[in-house]
Structure 1
Amino acid sequence: MVARRTRTSATNGSKAAEKKKEEPAVVEMEEVEEMEEIELSSDEEVEDDDDDVALIVLKRPPITERVIEEVEITEDIEITGTGATGANLTEKKGYIKEFIESEGLAMILSKDYGLVLFHLSSVWIGDEQKDIINTRKNLTPGTTVTFYDRSFKGEEYKDLSDDKVIHQAVAVWTGDTRPDSVLRKITDEEYKKKLEEFRSTFMLYLRGEVFLRAAYVRIKGEVAGYLSEKMGIIEYKDDQGKKLNIFFHSDDVRIYKKEVKEFHKPCKALLPVGIPVSVDARRVHVVGVKNIEYQAIVVIAGAWPLTPHPTLMPGGQGSIAPCYELPKGNFTFYYMELALEGRLSRKVQDLKELLNRSNGNISYDWNHVQYAQSKEQITEWKRMFGGKRRFNPQNSNVDRSAKREVLDVFKASEANEEEIKEETKSKVKKKVLAERTWYTPEAWEHGGLRIKEEVKDEVMGADGEPLTKKPKQEPVKS
């Protein structure tokens, strides 16, 4: 800051004023503008007064530069360390197993890692994220995906598995290449909070016992007859030799991995009476209907599709699954789609209305029904759908009666959860920031201000945290 104290006549003052108007408003910062003396109205009255009134010419503070660091997420990340706050950055493969709710919760099944919870808002279709509705349209059950996940272990997850663990995907994408924005997204704090909320919502569903229990899983039955174009009965014989009737709807039938509607023919013509099938069923009580205690959740003729399939969890009322090697203790299979029970209940009501015409007794409709009464006819039926394969000597020693491993479970993974460390997840870019401020030593010679120690403490706060009030800085105008 530079000040000159001058005096002159009124005439010179007028000329100086005109000269001032002609000069540019903005001057170079390196120069001090020399101002002509201006006579003030009170100069003659206070000629001998030491407290002269003077015009002060101020100079703007000089431009100062400071270097700041900008952190940018890098594409190549070194995986080091472990911890409960990070994500496992090993790319894993799986497929969409089941949608839990319309709001976005869903499940991935990985043959190597088991079940993985995820949300549709964590999905990239190609290189972009879409809204939940469009994302679901692009992710049909059975779609192969790649994902990053996190693992959580504790007593709160004891109802999920004996390992007391849950895996949650933090990012899911289709295609072979990871989208560029994935790493930035998964390190965002707000995004992490949403993932925690999704996990909490799933646990509320679990504790609320809203998932659908499957009393029977992949039991072997036989089509006994049809009640209508879309409804029929499957006969199952249990270990004690007791015959059980399970009613089914054509919407729940899969013939060599395809739904009935894909063939554009009625179920009667596609699935003959006498064909062996695999069935998942739940127990039902239909008022006024006799000899039907179970409803099919899914009926599978021929090779099994990837989906649908229930999830095995500890506890519950138990399930009968003769095809699987079940762990010791009490375990139950569940379908987790919340809307499934409503769809099945509507079909129960349709059954009740249909059998009311026969006083609740089973009455088969034999019109246009196909039959498979011998092994030759069953083999011919398989050939119609491409189910008959040529003899492969490599498979001749395979034990077809061996029980299968249950894959649809939450299980501990051998891979350690790895943390994205601050020094490895990003790279630092240096940037020069130009600014003008009175609060730098460079401005002291021009009248710059110094912050007293007590003011510094006030700005930073007693606890060392910065307060909202900070020295005002003047941005550089372009």
Structure 2
Amino acid sequence: MVARKTPVKKAAANGKPAAEMKVVDTVGEVEEVEMEEEEMEEIMLSSDDENEDDDVALIVLKRPPVTERIVEEVEITEDIEITGTGTGGVNLKEKSGFVKEYIESEGLAMILSKDYGLVLFHLSSVWLENVQNDLSTTRKKLPTGTEIKFYDRTFKGEEYKDLSEDKVIHQAVAVWTGETRPDNVLKKVADEEYKKKLEEHRATFMLYLRGEVFLRAAFVRVKGEVAGYLNENMGIIEYKDEKDKKINIFFHTDDVRIFKKEVKEYRKPAKTALPVGCIVSVDARRVHVVGVKNIEYQAIIVVAGAWPKTPHPTLMPGGQGSIAPSYEMPKGNFTFYYMELALEGKLTRKVQEFKDILSRSRGQVNYDWANVQYIQSKEQFNDWKREYGGGNKRSFNGKRAQGKREVLDTFRAAEATEEDIKDEKTKVTQKTIAERTWYTPEAWEHGGLRLKEEVKDETDGSTPAKRVKKELKK
């Protein structure tokens, strides 16, 4: 290697004063000065033994590209106390269900969760896509059957024995639509005024229960056959009980569901969409129509094809009992009820319409056969099902291959699992982090670093010497 010295150092080394050096203008050429070379000892590098014929390439390293990754942050939360006689705070486990039934126009309603049963809620506790609206707007945008998520609280005690065999009631403290929980939910449910409102809603519901204002369903999902039509809107269904006794049930076409849809959605007359001879499932209440014999029941809902999620009655202890052959009924006396307070008024108006029709024939049932469709064979039934059922592969009327259905529409205690308890105390949020690193495949083309295979193999923490000993022992 060659060491080069500057002119200043060279002049000093020769003993010449700095004044003897040639002065030049700052803008111009400097007279070339001969440089003195000094021989240095050669230093051997480890790469000198390598083949000199190998090509040498200069790789320009760039900054690694920006990569993003999602991380989960777990936040430990505290129980939020809500006034009442419950045994703990709000259950912060996010649950899901759907709106089952509206009880009143003021806002009380029910949620049905497959895993937790029935949950009471109020429209003032609802967020629609992160926004709270007035009650009327919320109800219009939240029809029955809408999927929702919620936080709830459970109350247990003797005061709920008429509501639940387990003597419990679940009340939602926050209900929302969409995938993400609204930002201000926890702050809202901790507000003192909000807590008092929740307690008032629960007390109002219990007043309705003790006042016996809910509508009893004498028959629940019993199988019957459409016998005929009295006019375009009214018809009769024949049902045979366990003793093979024929029971007549009158129905209104507004209360018919064909493969989960209302008749009007098919834009065809009911006489065509629901043919005479079609097998249906019926919920009915008992009525007394003056001057009419052999018709003592009115249909609350008539279902042809697969069962819809709503409407469906709620099972409670006590009462006059219900006949529900499709369900596994608990031991003891239990009754199904519809809780919508306005329902009885709607049905009563249809009773009056039914009386007006039969009054023209002095109480005698005269069927109107004009433009009526029939199902008289299996082939005709299959044709009807293909036309209205859309090729649904599920069994007719939602009937399961084996056994009876479990009753889900009831208040029941839900035992908390270890995972549930953990979820109640924690909040998991996802966060996206942008970073630059050489240790990613995306950076390899820019000179990124890779872990050598032998490094990966040493993750057990043992030294090479120890591994050799282990291998010798084998």
Deviation at 1:233, TM superposition (A): 0.3
Spell out, residue by residue over 1:231-265, the C-alpha distance to the aligned partner (whole angstroms, 9 max, x if none): 00000000001001000001000000001121222
SS of the residue corresponding to residue 403 of structure 2 reads coil
SS of the residue corresponding to residue 379 of structure 1 reads helix
Decide whether the 8 Å contact of 2:160 with 2:169 is kept in 1.
yes
Decide whether the 8 Å contact of 2:80 with 2:90 is kept in 1.
no
What does 1:205-224 correspond to in 2, within 5 Å? 205-224=208-227
What does 1:231-380 correspond to in 2, within 5 Å? 231-380=234-383
Decide whether the 8 Å contact of 1:213 with 1:335 is kept in 2.
yes
2:429 maps to 1:414 = no
What does 1:386-405 correspond to in 2, within 5 Å? 386-389=389-392, 400-405=401-406
* Separation in 1, partners of 2:394, 2:246: 34
* Separation in 1, partners of 2:159, 2:354: 41
Deviation at 1:81, TM superposition (A): 10
* Separation in 2, partners of 1:354, 1:385: 29
* Separation in 1, partners of 2:289, 2:101: 28
Decide whether the 8 Å contact of 1:85 with 1:419 is kept in 2.
no
Residue 108 of structure 1 is matched in structure 2 by 111
Residue 35 of structure 1 is matched in structure 2 by none
Decide whether the 8 Å contact of 1:81 with 1:418 is kept in 2.
no
Spell out, residue by residue over 1:404-454, the C-alpha distance to the aligned partner (whole angstroms, 9 max, x if none): 000000000112897999x999xxxxxxxxxxxxxxxxxxxxxxxxxxxxx
SS of the residue corresponding to residue 333 of structure 1 reads strand
Deviation at 1:80, TM superposition (A): 6.5
Residue 443 of structure 1 is matched in structure 2 by none
Aligned match for 2:173, one of 148, 170, 174: 170
Aligned match for 1:136, one of 126, 136, 139: 139
Residue 43 of structure 1 is matched in structure 2 by none
* Separation in 2, partners of 1:352, 1:384: 34
Decide whether the 8 Å contact of 1:235 with 1:245 is kept in 2.
yes
Aligned match for 1:94, one of 94, 97, 102: 97
* Separation in 2, partners of 1:216, 1:274: 20
* Separation in 1, partners of 2:79, 2:276: 60
SS of the residue corresponding to residue 193 of structure 1 reads helix
Q: Which has the larger radius of gyration?
A: 2
* Separation in 2, partners of 1:375, 1:185: 58
Decide whether the 8 Å contact of 2:305 with 2:389 is kept in 1.
no
Spell out, residue by residue over 1:31-66, the C-alpha distance to the aligned partner (whole angstroms, 9 max, x if none): xxxxxxxxxxxxxxxxxxxxxxxxxxxxxxxxxxxx
Letter in 2 for 1:224: A
Where does the alignment leave 5 or more consecutive residues of structure 1 unmatched? 1-74, 393-397, 426-478
* Separation in 1, partners of 2:148, 2:391: 31
* Residues matched between the structures, number: 346
* Separation in 2, partners of 1:135, 1:81: 26
Range moving further from structure 2, 175-184 or 84-93 = 84-93
Where does the alignment leave 5 or more consecutive residues of structure 2 unmatched? 1-73, 428-474
* Separation in 1, partners of 2:279, 2:335: 25
Letter in 1 for 2:235: G
Decide whether the 8 Å contact of 2:306 with 2:394 is kept in 1.
no
Decide whether the 8 Å contact of 1:230 with 1:249 is kept in 2.
yes
State the percentage of identical aligned residues: 71
Distance 1:138 1:399, change over 3 A: closer
Decide whether the 8 Å contact of 2:219 with 2:284 is kept in 1.
yes
Residue 78 of structure 1 is matched in structure 2 by 77
Distance 1:121 1:399, change over 3 A: closer
* Separation in 2, partners of 1:103, 1:418: 34
Decide whether the 8 Å contact of 2:79 with 2:91 is kept in 1.
no
Deviation at 1:388, TM superposition (A): 3.9
2:388 maps to 1:385 = yes
Distance 1:77 1:266, change over 3 A: farther
Range moving further from structure 2, 143-152 or 257-266 = 257-266
Letter in 1 for 2:415: E
Deviation at 1:188, TM superposition (A): 0.4
Decide whether the 8 Å contact of 1:80 with 1:418 is kept in 2.
no
Deviation at 1:399, TM superposition (A): 6.0
Letter in 1 for 2:254: D
SS of the residue corresponding to residue 380 of structure 1 reads helix
Spell out, residue by residue over 1:278-311, the C-alpha distance to the aligned partner (whole angstroms, 9 max, x if none): 0000000000112110000000000000000000
Distance 1:276 1:420, change over 3 A: closer
Letter in 1 for 2:413: A
Spell out, residue by residue over 1:103-147, the C-alpha distance to the aligned partner (whole angstroms, 9 max, x if none): 000000000000000000000000110000000011111100000
SS of the residue corresponding to residue 405 of structure 1 reads coil
Residue 157 of structure 1 is matched in structure 2 by 160
* Separation in 2, partners of 1:177, 1:88: 17
SS of the residue corresponding to residue 360 of structure 2 reads helix
Aligned match for 2:199, one of 196, 201, 210: 196
TM-score by length of 1: 0.69
TM-score by length of 2: 0.70
Residue 72 of structure 1 is matched in structure 2 by none
Distance 1:391 1:222, change over 3 A: closer
* Separation in 1, partners of 2:144, 2:293: 36
Letter in 2 for 1:134: T
Deviation at 1:375, TM superposition (A): 1.0
Distance 1:399 1:351, change over 3 A: closer
Deviation at 1:357, TM superposition (A): 0.5
SS of the residue corresponding to residue 133 of structure 2 reads coil
* Separation in 2, partners of 1:372, 1:348: 27
SS of the residue corresponding to residue 217 of structure 1 reads strand
Decide whether the 8 Å contact of 1:165 with 1:411 is kept in 2.
yes
Distance 1:391 1:361, change over 3 A: closer
Decide whether the 8 Å contact of 1:80 with 1:420 is kept in 2.
no
